[in-house]
Amino acid sequence: MRILAAMSGGVDSAVAAARAVDAGHDVVGVHLALSRAGGTLRTGSRGCCTIEDALDARRAADLLGIPFYVWDFSERFREDVIADFVAEYQAGRTPNPCMRCNEKIKFAALLERAIELGFDAVCTGHYATLIPTDAGLELHRAADNAKDQSYVLGVLTAEQLAHTYFPLGTTPSKAVVRAEAAERGLTVAQKPDSHDICFIPDGDTRGWLAEKVGTATGEILDRTGEVVGSHEGAHAFTVGQRRGLKLGVPAADGKPRFVLEVRPVSNTVVVGPKEALAIREIAGERFSWAGAAPVESEFDCEVQIRAHAEPEVARAFVTSEGVRVVPEEPLNGVAPGQTAVLYVGTRVLGQFTIDRTVSAVPVDA
Catalytic residue among 48, 49, 198, 301: 198
Are the C-beta atoms of 317 and 287 separated by less than 8 Å?
no
Active site residue 48: no
- Distance in angstroms (rounded) separating the CA atoms of residues 106 and 161: 12
Are the C-beta atoms of 154 and 350 separated by less than 8 Å?
yes
Strands, E, within 23-167: which ranges?
Answer: 26-33, 68-72, 121-123, 129-133, 136-140, 164-165
- Distance in angstroms (rounded) separating the CA atoms of residues 65 and 58: 10
Catalytic residue among 49, 101, 123, 301: 101
Helix extents (H) in 195-345: 205-213
- Distance in angstroms (rounded) separating the CA atoms of residues 97 and 84: 8
Q: H or E stretch including 18?
A: helix 11-22
Backbone phi and psi for residue 82, each to the nearest 5 degrees, phi listed first: -70, -50
CA geometry: angle 75, 81, 87, nearest 5 deg: 115
Rounded to a whole number of angstroms, the CA Rg of the chain reads 22
Which residue, among 109, 96, 86, has the nearest Cα to 33 in the 3D structure?
109
- Distance in angstroms (rounded) separating the CA atoms of residues 224 and 182: 59
* Active site residue ranges: 101, 198
